[in-house]
Amino acid sequence: MAQLSRDRSFLMVIDLQERLLPAIHDHQAVRDRSVFLIRAARILGLPIVWTEQYRKGLGPTVPPVAEAIGDAARPMEKMAFGCLCDDAVARAVESAGRDQLILCGIEAHVCVLQTALAARERGLTVFLAEDAIGSRRPSDRDAALRRMAQAGCVPATSEMLAMEALRVAGTDPFKQILPLLKG
């Protein structure tokens, strides 16, 4: 099984939008774990790709997520469910120049699933921040996580991924992430 590498990985934040997120089961936890992961990624210097599905209908990204991303990325609007089916998003992924993709966002059984499967087809190692991935129905989320794992995606949690990328304690990035772990 692959181990996450800080130098080889990037984060994709998928569709955490105002009109969809409140319908997601345990949406506050999904939002909070996504915000943690985004903040950790920024501290670690990981590139971030940020998508919004049909912004006119689903609204912008929820403020805590958008604020955590800040100026690290700009939202990329898409109509395709799978992020890599959108040419602009696919170019952003290619330009990141990394082969390990960390996924968070919604919905697990639609946009996250289709993105993960396409990324695996392209040869990327996909890490699933399971505590930062959600769907309206828990059964859809659970089925999607199983299917992604069967396709070779690596199940993990947001904290697991942050600590794996850090590797050691006592560094400046560790000292910056430590308060996030306690929060």
Measured CA to CA in angstroms, residue 130 lies from 112, 141, 180 at distances of 11, 9, 18
Tell me the pLDDT tens digit for each residue of 115-165: 999 999 999 999 999 999 999 999 999 999 999 999 999 999 999 999 999
Q: Is the peptide bond before 18 cis (omega within 30 degrees of 0)?
A: no
Tell me the pLDDT tens digit for each residue of 57-103: 999 999 999 999 999 999 999 999 999 999 999 999 999 999 999 99
Side chain identity at 157, as an amino acid letter? T
Q: What phi and psi, each to the nearest 5 degrees, are found at residue 133?
A: -130, 130
User: What residue ranges do the domains of the chain occupy?
Assistant: 9-182
Task: Please give the Cα distance from 115 to 111 (Å, whole number).
Answer: 6
- pTM for this entry: 0.96
Measured CA to CA in angstroms, residue 153 lies from 3, 86, 100, 119, 120 at distances of 12, 21, 10, 10, 8
- The continuous run of DSSP H or E covering 129 comes out as strand 125-134
Tell me the pLDDT tens digit for each residue of 19-63: 999 999 999 999 999 999 999 999 999 999 999 999 999 999 999
CATH-assigned architecture of domain 9-182: 3-Layer(aba) Sandwich (3.40)
Side chain identity at 178, as an amino acid letter? L
